[in-house]
Amino acid sequence: MIAEDTFRPPWCHKKIMSELMGNIYGQYDAKPQGFVPDGISLQNMMLPHGPLKAEKLDNTMSFMFETRLLQHLTRLAAVEAPPQDDYIEPWDSLEKQFDGTPGKK
């Protein structure tokens, strides 16, 4: 992988950039099921995303574009390629750490 032997942010993270990921061939490390070649994934700023654990993959190629701007789907994309209904399932087992109570740690 391009980031091998370099610093890489935590796998499951959120940041102030919007990311558009695309899979050219093979398997994408953050979405091994259901992210097929020619698929794309859009995570707008401040949304948690990414794989839950590190795993090295070979024979795969993906790309990412980042921007500080909020991204929007076109009406055609929303109708012809609707969002994946089970997208949140991999994170169902994570324990909730924040309940929104001011001052609570």
Sign of CA dihedral 71, 20, 91, 13: negative
Query: End-to-end alpha-carbon separation of the chain, Å?
Result: 37
What is the widest separation between alpha-carbon atoms in the chain?
A: 47
List pLDDT tens digits, range 47-79: 777 777 777 778 888 888 889 888 888 888 888
> Is 90 inside a domain boundary?
no
Report DSSP state, residue 69.
S
Reading the block at residue 74, the tokens are 């076109």
19 in any annotated domain: yes
Residue 68 backbone phi and psi in degrees, to 5: -80, -10
- Summarize pLDDT for 21-43 with one digit per residue, the tens: 888 888 776 666 667 777 788 88
Flag whether 34 is in a domain. Answer: yes
Q: By residue range, what is the domain housing residue 9?
A: 1-69
For residue 47, what is the domain's CATH number?
A: 2.60.120.10
**pLDDT of residue 17 exceeding 70:** yes
Calculate the average pLDDT of the chain: 77
